[in-house]
Structure formats: C-alpha cells, structure tokens
Structure 1
C-alpha cells in the first residue's frame, strides 16, 4: 500500500487546527500534517520568516517527500507555488476557497483585509500585505487539482472557483451548498469525502 501524505495549510488566521475536523475523518492510514506557521497560533518566530514570500519559501522548503497539499484561502497561494517549484514532490492540490493568486476584485470578492487588521491585530500582517498575480503561471500546474467552493462565500465567491477551473489544466470543481468561507471547518464530513475520493482517483 502506498503512503498518502497530506499537508494541510491554513488561511490568513494561521491556525492549523482549522483542518482538524477534516483530518479526523480521513483514513487512519493517511499521514496528515497540519502545518503551523511561525508567529501564528502561539508558534515562535523563525528568523528567516518575515513576510508572506519568506513564509511561502519556508513551507515549500520543508516539502521533501511525495505530498498532496490541502490549502484554505491564502494557503492556496503557497500551495500553487509549491506545485510549480516542486513538481516531483507535490502530487496533487486540494484548493479550498482561495484566490489562487487571481485578481479577486474583478470576480466579485469582498475585501477581507480591513476586518483582518481589526480582529486579528495581534498577528503579523504578512497575509494582508501580500500581493500576488499567479495567473500567468497557472497553466504550468500539471498536477491534478480538486477545487472546493462554497456557494455562499463573499470572500471567495464561486466565480473564482470557475476561473481557476478554466486556467488550471487538470482541475475539477465541486460546490458545497450553503458554504461560507469557513465551510471546510463547518462542513467537514462533505469536505473529507471529496478529499478521499480525489486521493483514490490519483
């Protein structure tokens, strides 16, 4: 039996326990890593990590075995970079309610950054300051991609999922009814079922 390694990336809140309900519902044989970020969720600083770019580098540098990345929101930008930089290790992507490095304002997305600065003022501002345009690179993502989107998410509306499906060569989109931005946490059984089916199809 081949080993299945899953690397779960949180969004801008940086709390790896966001993914715990999903991980708990996956087969015990899956090796799940809920990635913690330096300076988030009580984690200590790492000298080399001081921006979203260096956080991305730090996460990607730690990928040294065949891995499927499951990423929420801003974590999806790290996941896409990992797929591009380490195609021999990244076997597939599960992207959940992410911008994917697209211009989300053109796709009807609400701006989340002001609320983030007000409600999470104790956290580093790396995610708020990050500005990425990965659209020229998406066609080079050769791995299979599962896109999971909620139909009631103002931050990453379904239009973004459709746009990513068009630009990623091997992507399939599934919609979670009544899914808000945190639907992976609130609807963990559905999300876990989709992830397991995706893995079994690889």
Structure 2
C-alpha cells in the first residue's frame, strides 16, 4: 500500500469507533475552507490521495470507513446518520466549523446525507459519479457483477483484466490506481453496502439550499450519466458537468479537467453575490 507522506495520519476514536484519518495542509494558513471528502465503497485513503495533493491551496480531510484501509473492522453495522455524526465530530475535533464537501460514488451519497443532516457545516457540495440512492438508473450488469466480486481488491490481475468493463471510459492511469488500493475486510465491505440499503435523498434534494456541482462521465458503466441528470433536476442550485469519454474513474483519467472544475466551482462567487450582481 502506498502511503502519501505529505499527509498527516492519525487514528481517531469517536463514539466508540476508531477511524484512520488523513489530513493535508491542515495547520498551514489558507484563505479557503477545508474539503471533507467521502470515498467510494471499499476504497482507502490512498486511492484519492492524488486529488488531495493536487488541491495545494486547500486543507483536505478524509477517513477510511470501518473495515476499509487502516480503519479497524466494525463490530456492529452503521448507517448514514451515525457516520455523518461521526464526520461532524471529527471536524469539531480538528476545529473545522465549516467545510466544502465532496463525495464520489458511494461517498457521493454520504456527502448528500452529511449536507442534509448538517447544513450549517457545509458551504458547497461536489458530487462525482454518484446517484440519489436507491432511486437510480443501474449500471451495466457486467460491470455491477464484477464490482460485487471482492477479487477486484485482492487480485491485481483480475482488476487489470476487467478494468474497462468495470469502470468504462478511458483507462489511463489504471496501474497507479490499482497500486493504491488496499482490500477491505469482508465484514467492512458488507457493512458499507448495508449502510446505504434502502437510502435515497430524492424527497429532500429539492430543499437542498447549497450550490452543488455534479460531475459525471458519459461512459460510466457503474453509475450511468442519467443519474447525474436526475440529481441536477432535483437540486435547485446545481450544475452538471459531463466528462467526455469519462468512466467511473474520470477523476483519474481526466485529472486536469477535474481539478480545474473543482477549483472553478469552489472559487466562484457565492450565489447571493451573483444574484446581487
């Protein structure tokens, strides 16, 4: 497992649950809010470390879910409410009363829930390759079948062979991505799946009063583009950006475009300022 040495790692116990936490540039002066990032299912901190590294002007924080990466295996199941509370307590511990929030795939659902549960903590929200939960357009059966196979985490050959089927889009950078993955424990993976079972944000999204950027690949085999259009139609102050030839990992294959889009969105004037102008 690759460890990004520019991040500060710590084990934090919140509400009886211990999590491995990574923070970038946390104690450096910055005029920008920190970014709180929620990762995809089964993905460890290292998988998204390049994104944290690229946003050099911003503090950045993420944590491994229970049983994923370096976080101990969960003893009991958890749900979006408890994990959102846990994330909020971590932010309080590190003196971050307000953040910008981003999530990819499964983490995009967590990012939505966190924002809805703790609206006073969130300034802006970025959703990447994600859905509104159970009310979604499913991906291709071939991709979903291979995604459910734990071999994609423990067998690099399996991941490489089926990378295009799994994620769609361009496949540049796949070796780097594969090298950064650490397999979750079986219980950790199952509990992460169970966490969002039956969950949907659809009834609440029309009431989400945040500026939201939705980023989707047009060749995502796991989360088809239509899901991004559904999110855009439900969230009042949202904008959809489509990454051409982008699969589920467009943040990897379209790295420069991704960073540019994130910066442009987070640095833009607030909605109140735009309306006043």
Change (3 A) 1:159 1:183: same
C-alpha distance in 1, partners of 2:33/2:222? Answer: 31
Aligned twin of 1:115? 146
**1:56 CA drift (Å):** 4.1
Judge conservation of contact 1:7–1:35 (CA < 8 Å) in 2.
Answer: no
SS in 1 for 2:204: helix
Aligned twin of 1:198? 265
C-alpha distance in 2, partners of 1:51/1:18? Answer: 23
Judge conservation of contact 1:19–1:34 (CA < 8 Å) in 2.
Answer: no
C-alpha distance in 2, partners of 1:90/1:16? Answer: 21
Aligned twin of 1:36? 64
Q: Give ranges in structure 2 of 5+ residues lacking alignment.
A: 1-29, 154-183, 271-277
Change (3 A) 1:89 1:164: same
Q: After superposition, what is the alpha-carbon deviation per residue over 1:140-170, rounded to whole angstroms, capped at 9, x for unaligned?
A: 2111100000000021111111110000111
**What is the TM-score with the length of structure 1 in the denominator?**
0.87
Change (3 A) 1:99 1:138: same
The one of 169, 178, 181 aligned to 2:248:
181
C-alpha distance in 2, partners of 1:42/1:179? Answer: 29
C-alpha distance in 1, partners of 2:42/2:225? Answer: 21
Equivalent residue pairs, number: 198
Aligned twin of 1:85? 117
Q: Give ranges in structure 1 of 5+ residues lacking alignment.
A: none
**1:189 CA drift (Å):** 1.6
**1:114 CA drift (Å):** 4.2
C-alpha distance in 1, partners of 2:140/2:203? Answer: 23
C-alpha distance in 1, partners of 2:90/2:42? Answer: 21
2:226 equivalent to 1:159: yes
SS in 2 for 1:135: coil
Aligned twin of 1:142? 209
Judge conservation of contact 1:146–1:171 (CA < 8 Å) in 2.
Answer: yes
SS in 1 for 2:35: strand
Question: RMSD value over aligned CA atoms?
Answer: 2.2
Change (3 A) 1:189 1:171: same
Is the radius of gyration larger for structure 1 or structure 2?
A: 2
Aligned twin of 1:127? 192
**What is the TM-score with the length of structure 2 in the denominator?**
0.65
**1:24 CA drift (Å):** 1.9
C-alpha distance in 2, partners of 1:14/1:142? Answer: 29
